[in-house]
Amino acid sequence: MILLLGGNGYIGQAFVAELERRKHPFISLSRRELDYNRFDLLLDYLKSKRLNFVVNAAGYTGKPNVDACEAAKADTLIGNTLLPQTLALACAAAGIPWGHVSSGCIYSGAKIKTENQVITEKDINKPEVRKMISTAPENILGFTETDAPNFSFRDEPCSFYSGTKALGEEAMAGIGQNYIWRLRIPFDEVDNMRNYLSKLQRYAKVCDNVNSISHRGDYAAACLDLWEKRAPFGIYNVTNPDFITAREVIELMQKILKLNRTFEFWANNEEFYNSAAKTPRSNCVLDVTKLLATGVKIRPVREALEHSLRNWKPETI
Amino acid sequence: MILLLGGNGYIGQAFVAELERRKHPFISLSRRELDYNRFDLLLDYLKSKRLNFVVNAAGYTGKPNVDACEAAKADTLIGNTLLPQTLALACAAAGIPWGHVSSGCIYSGAKIKTENQVITEKDINKPEVRKMISTAPENILGFTETDAPNFSFRDEPCSFYSGTKALGEEAMAGIGQNYIWRLRIPFDEVDNMRNYLSKLQRYAKVCDNVNSISHRGDYAAACLDLWEKRAPFGIYNVTNPDFITAREVIELMQKILKLNRTFEFWANNEEFYNSAAKTPRSNCVLDVTKLLATGVKIRPVREALEHSLRNWKPETI
């Protein structure tokens, strides 16, 4: 039996769908049913069930976006830093392995291969980096699991959200047996305010950023595969392989969804931050070599995007 | 046997002195000897000793002042929020009661008694409040332990330090048996960069604020008294009764230390924040009725101040 926390959330729902598809028995526990921030209640609960795995898809993301976390720091910290520590300790005490929905947004930028070395470039929108993306994308490398987060309280600036997610990883690492599954910018074929494809369609103006992104269902499937394969515990970047620019995603949407409109782009990030955002955003490329090396299959990003758009289910009123 | 964490710090040293004075056997454990942020190591340690109480004087305060915490958010959170949670869980698991050095800096201002009601005033430097301080100080009331912190992540603005201390109280409250001992602005007769009396003498310019403050030795003695008396667990404000303005402290210093200099004051807090500080400071009055009701004795603030100044030990090079 698997216990799922945060099953009502956007990512939690993907776990629900994937567990149902696999006919894997599970309990989806809401915080209304049990205040799992309380160690004593949580541990009693864990011991009372015959669980062999716990999935934590609970956390505090901020609505409609991470700016909201800046105004809800206590809840953000409780959801993203204290809860992972509580869960790690309770699962260790109960002897149950578990997996945690973490985030790749604890990085900024990419690693750039030059003639002699690999350098980290935090600003992926620098003209020379953008030029390389079109001329020599093979020289744009993702952050691996051994790279220290560079968009965190230890390497500012960062958003409060990203700071708490990075510290959440620290707070649970090495306690008992657990997976840290890093998601980046979820999307799929179902129109939703959390879906990247919906967001891009609804923004008044778009930032042409560069990112590794995660198909929501592919992500949940890959996370559960890691556990089913008994891959070693630890951190895994779980995005669809490769990276993509927002401009390319929009071109794909234009082509496949035949949207009857044009898109405006922010001239640059300064314009975006001055006009539309309170806190810095993470834009980054992640390396998924470690995930793929376990034998887990996950579609390349363009394949997953095309599939989502060809099966697009717009929200109906 | 008592276990003391953070015994090398400014407040920890006061516990060392007081425990030695009482001839109470104790172990002062440094983080170099044991990484007590790690639950497993901590719990094993707690179980390996015959302890009947733990004092946590460890935390992250920032050097030379709380501004430094803004640039060390991860360490500030680990020291002030995650550690209290870890300690609470480990002490509960080991069945050991404990006490935590918290801070009154999670409040701003005071409660003001008017004809019909008591209102909270966050800015204690408002001219009408300052006037009341000289004309009707009995109408300036301190925050009690049942008042929710109003200088915290839940009630911003606050400093990052204060936010983590308030959340640390939340993270440990109700787990096992523990005391939350709130200190405010420590001082005593020994010149030290953490001593309020030393700070006031070294500031180029002084803020004439209003505060409840804690004699370091009186604080440690009162905290240990609460435990020795088996006072009910929970939160206690532990300051010397009453409040005092920085201007009055300086007048006392001038009189007793016969300082051969004058002091300059910031015209107002705006000038101070624009010129000398990065993050907002807490200035507040605390009510110690709950502490005194247990029978614990602690000197009024003016008596403790005079005694410290009459026994002043300046630092020698």
Mean pLDDT over B174-189 rounds to 97
Decide: B236 and B145 in contact? Cβ < 8 Å: yes
Q: Does residue A284 lie within any of the structural domains?
A: yes
| Domain boundaries, position B136 | 2-310
In chain B, what residues touch A149 (CB-CB under 8 Å)? Answer: none
Tell me: pLDDT of B260 over 90. no
Q: Does residue A316 lie within any of the structural domains?
A: no
Which runs of consecutive H residues, i.e. helices, occur in chain A? 10-21, 39-48, 67-70, 73-77, 83-94, 127-135, 160-172, 196-202, 216-228, 246-257, 269-275, 289-293, 301-310
Decide: B180 and B173 in contact? Cβ < 8 Å: yes
Tell me: pLDDT of B267 over 70. yes
In chain B, what residues touch A81 (CB-CB under 8 Å)? Answer: 77, 81-82
For residue A171, give how far its alpha carbon lies from the nearest alpha carbon of chain B (Å).
8
ipTM exceeding cut-off 0.85 for this assembly: no
Decide: B28 and B11 in contact? Cβ < 8 Å: no
Q: Quote the number of domains for chain A.
A: 1
Q: Does residue B33 lie within any of the structural domains?
A: yes
Task: Indicate the pLDDT class of residue B243, thresholds 50, 70 and 90.
Answer: very high
* Helix H or strand E segment including B56: strand B53-56
Mean pLDDT over B67-72 rounds to 94
Average pLDDT for runs of 10 along chain A of length 317: 97 98 97 95 96 97 91 96 96 97 98 94 90 93 98 96 97 96 98 95 90 98 98 98 96 93 87 85 96 98 98 85
Q: How far apart are CA B77 and CA B93, in angstroms?
A: 23
Q: Does residue A64 lie within any of the structural domains?
A: yes
Q: Does residue B279 lie within any of the structural domains?
A: yes
Question: Given an 8 Å threshold on Cβ–Cβ distance, is B39 in contact with A156?
Answer: no
Question: Given an 8 Å threshold on Cβ–Cβ distance, is A77 in contact with B156?
Answer: no
Tell me: pLDDT of B316 over 80. no
For residue A142, give how far its alpha carbon lies from the nearest alpha carbon of chain B (Å).
24
Burial class (CB in 10 A: 0-12, 13-18, 19+), A186: buried
pLDDT of residue A147: 98
- Give the CATH number, domain containing residue A229: 3.40.50.720
Q: Does residue A315 lie within any of the structural domains?
A: no
In chain A, what residues touch B89 (CB-CB under 8 Å)? Answer: 39, 86, 89
pLDDT of residue B317: 62
Q: For chain B, what is the radius of gyration of the CA atoms?
A: 19
Question: Given an 8 Å threshold on Cβ–Cβ distance, is B82 in contact with A82?
Answer: yes
For residue B73, give how far its alpha carbon lies from the nearest alpha carbon of chain A (Å).
5
Residues of A with CB under 8 A from a CB of B: 38-40, 71, 73-74, 77-78, 81-82, 85-86, 89, 92-93, 152-154, 156, 163, 166-167, 170-171, 174-175
pTM for this prediction: 0.90
Distance of CA B215 to the CA centre of its chain: 10
Q: Does residue B259 lie within any of the structural domains?
A: yes
User: Residues 6 or more apart from A141 whose CB is under 8 A from it?
Assistant: A110, A111, A112, A113, A118, A285, A287
Q: Does residue B17 lie within any of the structural domains?
A: yes
Task: Indicate the pLDDT class of residue B44, thresholds 50, 70 and 90.
Answer: very high
Task: Indicate the pLDDT class of residue B272, thresholds 50, 70 and 90.
Answer: confident
Decide: B133 and B140 in contact? Cβ < 8 Å: yes
Decide: B265 and B204 in contact? Cβ < 8 Å: no
Interface probe with A: pick from B70, B80, B167, most Cβ of A within 10 Å: B167
Mean pLDDT over B279-292 rounds to 95
Mean pLDDT over B157-178 rounds to 96
Which runs of consecutive H residues, i.e. helices, occur in A95-151? 127-135
Angle at B299 between CA B297 and CA B305, to 5 degrees: 155
Q: How far apart are CA A24 and CA A2, in angstroms?
A: 8
Mean pLDDT over B74-87 rounds to 97
For residue B153, give how far its alpha carbon lies from the nearest alpha carbon of chain A (Å).
5
pLDDT of residue A269: 81
